[in-house]
Chain A
Amino acid sequence: MIKVTIDDIEVEVEPGTTILNAARQIGGEVVPPAMCYYSKLPGTGGKCRTCLVEVAAGSTADPRPMPKLMASCSTAVMDGMVVKNKTSQRVHDNRGGVVEFLLINHPLDCPICDQAGECHLQDLGYEHGSAKTRYKEERRTFDPIDIGNKIKLHMNRCILCYRCVHVANQLTDSRVHGVMHRGEHAEISTYIENAVENDFSGNMIDVCPVGALTDKTFRFKSRVWFLKPMEAECSCTKCSGKAVVWMFGNEIYRVTARKDKYGEVENIEDKTAWICNDCRFDKKDVSAWNIAGPRKIDRHSVISQGKYATKIDKGLNKIG
């Protein structure tokens, strides 16, 4: 085990752990945000640059600071490393810069976006964004393409995290979509329309940090925060059948995988509980599911605001 200090908190981790995962072991505010890294998908990370942290001391053996900010998702910790995240003004400023970059071409159509409420970019913009944009030009747009009857691709919202590409690589037998073109014209595309069809392709929706990939069977049906997330299980031959059903009254509006506080699909019995497309898109009847009870949404986003005690509520209670 090796020792690493993040924002003045010391933690012992296995050798080879990344700074981000070491921070997640501490938890709370020292965890850098991650838009592209997804711990359940090997190979992700390094692209969005929101998880940049300052390494104030490389290791006990070589305590020199690292000159550049490091991507915490892909930098392994060393024994005696000192990392600054929340405590570094430089990190704060540069993360603000990255958020500004991510937002200059993002459409800001949150009022009509299905991801609103569970969007990582929304959270990030709330924490690090500025109230005004300095971008005077017209925002970049793409011609919409149809990638099938279950998944809606809204390329204008994409931040090119490559997570969905990794899902297709790792969960499905053949990847039929990918990134085309380069620079600011880079886009997720199938080249041949209607092509994304696979039993597990729906997981692309769950891993998408923004509203670029959304569920066509749920599109414009309801805001997520009006729905009640319930832990549910069904018998399924393709996947574990363990999911979250989002209900309004007695109706199931949508089905997603069970996600943890970082928005990642949970591990159940040491296996990431990806769900298959049948469970996700077709089982909308209550009788198909065995509903266990309310699902705790452990996030700071608006979904949890109405239903669960938030930090603000707790604070008010103390004052009251």
Chain B
Amino acid sequence: MAGRQLLLENVHIPGIETFDVYRKNGGYASVEKALKKMTPDEVVEEVKKSGLRGRGGAGFPTGMKWSFLAKPDGVPRHLVCNADESEPGTFKDRYLMEKIPHLLIEGMITSSYALGANLSFIYIRGEFMYILHILEKAIAEAYANGMLGKNIMGSGFDLDLVVAPGGGAYICGEETALLESLEGKRGNPRMKPPFPAVKGLWGCPTVVNNVESIAAVVPIVNDGGEEYAKIGIERSTGTKLISASGNLVRPGVYEIEMGVSVEEFIYGDDYCRGIANGKRMKACIPGGSSVPILPAHLVTKTAAGENRLMTYESLADGGFASGSMLGSGGFIVFDEDQCIVRNTYTFARFYAHESCGQCSPCREGTGWMEKVLHRLEYGHGTMEDISLLEEINKKIEGNTICPLGDAAAWPVAAAIRHFREEFEWHVTHPAEAQTRNYGLIQPRVEEIKAL
């Protein structure tokens, strides 16, 4: 595999899931370094220097998030790891936790030390129950070897780490819903402000970070933030785990250096090795189901004709008109036989099912979109339905408590923006749409460029 591997370098070593093998291969070095040689603020400073951005999807700078943490006297602080990875198309955290659980635990200890948290949590989705057992076993090993508990490595720093499973709700991956769920309540997102950094778990200042972000703290502390920032381009630094799926020759979890071109990632020998069965690419969703879908001509090149790279900025180039987002790195590729309407309906069904039902635009809007898309997909739609979908989108987007509303609206809006002909074909050829797919669409390149 090309490029530097910071997280998955040792993943293929037999027995790496056990403490002894992990420790022998350089594990827990960051804990040793941080606790013995650095102050908590120095660790935060390294993370800031690294330019690490939240790997859960939003891409908010982790160091900055940490520095927002309120530190009132006498109030405990908490670090919560968001392992509720439920975004369709994303499976990187699962892989990481399953194969190399001690990396996450090491990251949790180092990060908790940086934030001054003495009780930290890993909130894991209910469907990952087998991983919960892996993590609990690893945590027990860490306790037994003095990496968790009282006075870790003689530094005077205490940390207890608890793995808490959720019930398997997508919404509990939203940080405030996650905290509600962790407190034992119904997983409804909270109103912000106050942000968790001020009032989080049980009213205490809390930082919620994605599994991959916390794991990335380990190489950052080991090698220094500046070294980490050397990888990548501009504000997209370091390595990123990409979950590649769909019609690819070699799908799977890849650790890439930020800045690899999309073309190389899809077709390169080190990565996915092209589209399966000799087909052509029709579309690609580069960052998990919530981000806008891109038609083939906008995947490898931006609307301006530049090479598109695997970075936060390059994938977002062109805004929503001709760009998308890196999101959580759920890279889904569609070949020419796939039906965009069907795919959009599947996503809409997912969001309708996962909406918490707390605020009206999301509760009613996601269900409505699902029904309209169902009509279109099964040949009962009308042309008005397509514009109706666009209008429902606009009324949901930005008007909800949490980002689930946006996440539900964007993929539908983008699918209609880029593949309107296919939606119309479902209306004009209802019988045919049941037996065959629309195939490759004539890309409206000029029209998109004009935007």
Q: Which residues of A contact B (CB under 8 A)?
A: 45-50, 52, 67-69, 71, 74, 94, 97-98, 100-102, 104-105, 134-137, 140, 159-160, 162, 178-179, 181-186
Between-chain CB contacts (< 8 Å), 25 pairs = A45-B191, A47-B401, A49-B359, A49-B399, A49-B400, A69-B398, A69-B399, A71-B401, A97-B394, A98-B360, A101-B361, A101-B363, A101-B368, A102-B360, A102-B364, A104-B364, A137-B368, A160-B357, A160-B363, A162-B358, A179-B357, A182-B171, A183-B367, A184-B355, A184-B357
The smallest C-beta distance from A51 to any residue of chain B, in angstroms, reads: 11
Q: In B46-69, which residues have CB < 8 Å from any A CB? A: none
| 6 A-B pairs with the lowest CB-CB distances in the bound complex, closest first | A97-B395, A186-B357, A184-B367, A101-B364, A183-B355, A46-B191
Residues of A within 8 A of B191 (CB): 45-46, 71, 74
Q: Bound complex: CA of A104 vs CA of B358, how far in Å? A: 16
Q: Bound complex: CA of A178 vs CA of B18, how far in Å? A: 44
Asked whether B353 is an interface residue with its Cβ less than 8 Å from the other chain, the reply is yes
CB < 8 Å neighbour of A179 from B186, B375, B395: B186
Q: In B170-221, which residues have CB < 8 Å from any A CB? A: 171, 186, 191
A105 pairs with B401, CB closer than 8 A: no
Residues of B within 8 A of A134 (CB): 388
In the complex formed, the residue of A with least CB distance to B187 is: A182
Q: Which residues of B contact A (CB under 8 A)?
A: 169, 171, 186, 191, 352-361, 363-368, 371, 375, 388, 391, 394-395, 398-401
In the complex formed, the residue of A with least CB distance to B355 is: A183
Q: Bound complex: CA of A186 vs CA of B352, how far in Å? A: 11
Interface residue SS majority, chain A: loop
Residues of B within 8 A of A98 (CB): 360-361, 395, 399
The smallest C-beta distance from A28 to any residue of chain B, in angstroms, reads: 25
A135 pairs with B398, CB closer than 8 A: no
In the complex formed, the residue of A with least CB distance to B189 is: A46
Residues of B within 8 A of A48 (CB): 359-360
The smallest C-beta distance from B123 to any residue of chain A, in angstroms, reads: 18
B368 pairs with A47, CB closer than 8 A: no
A74-B191, A160-B358, A182-B169 known, 7 other contacts, Cβ within 8 Å: A49-B399, A71-B401, A101-B363, A140-B367, A162-B358, A182-B355, A183-B355
Residues of A within 8 A of B358 (CB): 47, 160, 162, 186
B360 pairs with A159, CB closer than 8 A: yes
B360 pairs with A181, CB closer than 8 A: no
A182 pairs with B357, CB closer than 8 A: yes
Q: Bound complex: CA of A105 vs CA of B171, how far in Å? A: 23
The smallest C-beta distance from A320 to any residue of chain B, in angstroms, reads: 43
Q: Bound complex: CA of A98 vs CA of B401, how far in Å? A: 13
In the complex formed, the residue of A with least CB distance to B353 is: A183
The smallest C-beta distance from B171 to any residue of chain A, in angstroms, reads: 7
Q: Bound complex: CA of A105 vs CA of B364, how far in Å? A: 8
The smallest C-beta distance from A285 to any residue of chain B, in angstroms, reads: 41
Give the interface centre of B361, B364, B388 by most chain A CB atoms within 10 Å: B364
Q: Bound complex: CA of A74 vs CA of B394, how far in Å? A: 22
